[in-house]
Amino acid sequence: MHADRAPDIPQLERKMHPLSVKSPKPDPKAYTVVSVRLREAEYLSFMEQIRPFGISGNLAMRIAARRVAGFLELDADVRQSLQNITKSIGEISQSLRAIAEKNSSDIEAINEIRRAFGAEFVRLDSQMQEMLNVSKRRHDGQTMLVEASK
């Protein structure tokens, strides 16, 4: 910059506010470190709240931030539920295969297994819809922020 020229204000503002400049597409595998200042009482209360779960403060903060943003967090109950449903569907599939190998024409047995498969599939679909409802997850997280700001 020459001494006789006035500085380019928009360019200076972009340098001072890097988020105002279009940046390249973010790398989904890259991490950004976010520091949080907590008073000692807040920190102690926070650590007390997460202690029963056996997770670190960093992980708890990451889960909270991801929830506010609407990202998917699977807890142990959801994982167990999905594993149970998957196991049931596998068992149903084996039963159907066994009937087919017998070359059986036991229509009632086939219908019973088909009904069981349908019920498990409905459970799976319901669980998946709840997990994949991004707007509900984001709303729940944002509701947490609104409540906290009051």
Residues 6+ apart with CB under 8 A from 81: 127
Q: Which of 48-57, 86-95, 123-132 has the lowest mean pLDDT?
A: 123-132
pLDDT at 44: 93
Residue 40 has pLDDT above 90, yes or no: yes
pLDDT at 1: 46
pLDDT at 41: 93
Angle, helices 134-149/57-69, rounded to nearest 10 degrees: 110
Write down the mean pLDDT value for the chain. 75
Residue 7 has pLDDT above 60, yes or no: no
Residue 124 has pLDDT above 80, yes or no: yes
Higher-confidence residue: 71 or 83? Answer: 83
pLDDT at 12: 47
Residue 39 has pLDDT above 90, yes or no: yes
28 vs 30: CA distance, rounded Å? 6
| 133 and 72 Cβ atoms separated by less than 8 Å | no
Higher-confidence residue: 91 or 133? Answer: 91
pLDDT confidence band for 43 (50 / 70 / 90)? very high
pLDDT at 30: 81
